[in-house]
């Protein structure tokens, strides 16, 4: 018998696959939504559609079919990407569009899924970013997309959002995650300030188990110093 | 001889046409960018293109041609729209896409235009919204789009944005503007708290003249009580 059911949006990314792994070890039934299948997940839904509403329709109908009326414990959206560009850069708008598609599309579809399938007292986690709380002049499109995700969390935490009773809606705001890609591209950086993926996955497991929850609507910053990570809201 | 040159994005809307009118009365040369021509403007550019980058290319090349190297005093973006929908609503994502296109596309293209053509000490105004500073559960897509515009202003105010020296980048955050459409759709509302369009236009004229400027990066709230409007940051 499973401990519960969780939906991971982006379960093939570095953080997403760690989350899938941690929840499988904790005996959860895991549904992965991504561009590729996860071997670890119990069920996979491959994202298709070229537009925001097409992706919404395809993903939402496939999830409804897979769950066939069963409620879920958590929706954990870890999909995202990164691209730079100041507002003066020729790449600004091209990259802003990429960031919108890779961050805001999955986050908003996850919000819809949570409103439809989350049980009372469930958990919804969306992917924010610490730098986007202020200006991000060298990555302007990235900042806009993450700021939109942060504001969506404020909306979701309000009683009028349609989210089920006593559910938690939060964004996690990493600074730098300790991923293989970041190790590759920032090989000379001080990794003692990078947040381990396992820490983030265990945090979501606690929240899903209704342990150590922050207030709904929180932007939960992940701060790692000398290899030790703490959360602040 | 003109007092200067300003570019109005959305110069055919209710607020936009008031802004065009006020700047014309103050002897400015006014370039309107909109889906329709403005009779009052000195030059019109009609927005074309189905994608964000197509609109950017079409608008930016037409503006460069119209200005032929002349610097401008202000870029005033007043384009926007409104649509509701909670995250649980079937209209949420459809309307979020509409809001992104009607608010974030013009605001980001205006940011590019400002970085390219604004003189030192120029003015860039983008269209924010007071409710989006917090959650907007019954208009979730609208809130995300406006939050993205607010964050873009923070990026633009940073020295690394590429905006010209000593330029002002701000968002105006109205609550309810006193427009004909709002009068029509909210006919029973208390209009003594609605902000007159002339107040907003005169405010932009002052800033363009380098008078009473707020700090760059400000979200300038427009608060109207008993028919009297004040600004707060």
Q: What is the pLDDT of residues B165-182, one digit of tens each?
A: 999 999 999 989 999 999
Residues with Cβ within 8 Å of A27's Cβ and at least 6 positions away in sequence, in order, are A2, A3
Structure tokens at A40: 């670890």
Q: Give me the residues of B, 37-56, that contact A with CB < 8 A.
A: 51-53, 56
Rounded Cα distance, A174 and B80, in Å: 32
Q: What is the pLDDT of residue A201?
A: 98
d(CA B113, CA B66): 12
| pLDDT at residue A1, as a whole number | 74
Q: Which two tokens stand for residue A68?
A: 């066939």
Q: What is the mean pLDDT of residues A12-25?
A: 97
* Chain A contact present for B58, CB below 8 A: no
- Residue B188: both structure tokens together: 């029973």
Residues in B touching A92 (Cβ below 8 Å)? 108, 111-112
Share the mean pLDDT of chain A: 97
Q: What is the pLDDT of residues A30-69, one digit of tens each?
A: 999 999 999 999 999 999 999 999 999 999 999 999 999 9
Residues of B in contact with A153 (CB under 8 A): 135
Q: Which of B51, B109, B151, B217 to mutate to test the interface with A (most CBs of A within 10 A)?
A: B151
**Contact present, A217 and A156 (Cβ < 8 Å):** yes
The string of DSSP codes covering A138-155 is TBHHHHHHHHHHHHHHHH
Contact B147 A145 (CB under 8 A): no
Q: Do A135 and B156 touch (CB under 8 A)?
A: yes
Assess contact for A175 and A222: CB atoms under 8 A. Answer: yes
Answer whether residue B40 shows pLDDT above 80.
yes
Query: Is residue A177 a contact partner of residue A200, using CB atoms and an 8 Å limit?
Result: yes
The pair phi, psi for residue B93, each rounded to 5°, is -75, -40
Residue B49 has pLDDT above 90, yes or no: yes
Residue B194 reports pLDDT greater than 90: yes
The arithmetic mean of pLDDT across residues A19-30, rounded, is 98
The neighbour count for residue B119, using CB atoms within 10 Å, is 17
Active site residues of B: 142
Question: Residue B104: pLDDT band by 50, 70, 90 thresholds?
Answer: very high
Tokens standing for A27? 């005996």
What structural domains does chain A harbor?
4-232 (3.40.50.720)
Q: Which chain A residues touch B87 with a CB distance below 8 Å?
A: 108, 111-112, 114-115, 152, 155-156, 161-163
Per-residue tokens: A77: 């959206």
Burial of B226 (0-12, 13-18, 19+ CB in 10 A): exposed
What is the arithmetic mean of pLDDT over A142-146?
Answer: 98
Give the distance from residue B156's alpha carbon to the nearest chain A alpha carbon, in angstroms.
6
Scanning A21-40 for CB atoms below 8 A from B yields none
Asked whether the predicted pLDDT for residue A143 surpasses 80, the reply is yes
- Average pLDDT on A185-207 reads 95
CB within 8 Å: A151 and B147: yes
Q: Tokens 């002897």 label which residue? A: B27
Is B3's pLDDT higher than 90? yes
Rounded Cα distance between A233 and B49, Å, is 42
**Residue A88 and residue B162: Cβ atoms within 8 Å?**
yes
Proportion of chain B above pLDDT 90, given as a percent: 97
Q: What average pLDDT is seen over chain B?
A: 97
Q: Which two tokens stand for residue A9?
A: 């949006």
Task: Give the pLDDT of residue A77.
Answer: 98
CB neighbourhood size of A116 (10 A):
18
Question: Given the structure tokens 């809201």, which residue do they identify?
Answer: A233
Q: How far apart are the first and last CA of chain A?
A: 35
Angle at A42 between CA A36 and CA A47, to 5 degrees: 30
- CB A12, CB A38: distance < 8 Å: yes
pLDDT digits (tens, 9 = 90+) for A89-119: 999 999 999 999 999 999 999 999 999 999 9
What DSSP element (H or E) covers A127?
A: strand A118-127
**So what's the pLDDT on residue B149?**
98
Smallest CA–CA distance from A118 into chain B, residue:
B88
Task: Give the pairing type, strands A228-232 and A219-225.
Answer: antiparallel
* Radius of gyration, alpha carbons of chain A: 17
Helix, strand or coil, per DSSP, at residue B217: coil
Distances in Å between the alpha carbon of B196 and those of B13, B186, B200?
14, 15, 7
pLDDT at B54: 97
pLDDT in tens, B116-167: 999 999 999 999 999 999 999 999 999 999 999 999 999 999 999 999 999 9
- How far A25 CA sits from the closest chain B CA (Å)? 31
| CB of B232 less than 8 A from some CB of A | no
Tell me the H-state helices in chain A.
14-25, 52-67, 92-99, 105-117, 140-157, 180-185, 197-208
pLDDT value at B1 more than 90: no
CA distance B125 to B153: 9
Q: How far is A217 from chain B (nearest CA, A)?
A: 9
Q: How confident is the model at residue B210 (pLDDT cuts 50, 70, 90)?
A: very high
Residues within 8 A of A (CB atoms), B 105-144 only: 108-109, 111-112, 114-116, 132, 134-138, 140-141, 143-144
């Amino acid at each position: 018998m499973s401990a519960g059911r969780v939906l991971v949006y982006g379960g093939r990314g570095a953080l997403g696959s760690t989350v899938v792994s941690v929840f499988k070890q904790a005996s959860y039934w895991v549904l992965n939504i991504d561009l590729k299948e996860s071997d670890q997940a119990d069920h996979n839904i491959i994202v298709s559609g070229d537009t925001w509403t097409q992706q919404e329709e395809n993903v939402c109908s496939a999830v409804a079919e897979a769950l066939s009326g069963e409620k879920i414990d958590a929706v954990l959206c870890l999909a995202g990407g990164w691209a730079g560009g100041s507002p003066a850069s020729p790449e600004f708008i091209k990259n802003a569009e990429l960031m919108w598609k890779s961050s805001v599309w999955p986050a908003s579809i996850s919000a819809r899924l949570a409103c439809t399938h989350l049980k009372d007292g469930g958990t919804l986690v969306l992917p924010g970013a610490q730098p986007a709380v202020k200006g991000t002049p060298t990555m302007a499109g990235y900042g806009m997309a993450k700021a939109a995700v942060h504001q969506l969390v404020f909306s979701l935490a309000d009683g009028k959002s349609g989210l089920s009773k006593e559910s938690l809606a939060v964004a996690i705001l990493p600074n730098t995650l300790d991923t293989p890609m970041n190790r590759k591209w920032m090989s000379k950086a001080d990794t003692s300030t990078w947040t381990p993926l396992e820490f983030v996955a265990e945090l979501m497991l606690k929240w899903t188990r209704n342990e150590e929850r922050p207030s709904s609507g929180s932007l939960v910053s992940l701060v790692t110093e000398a290899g030790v990570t703490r959360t602040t809201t």
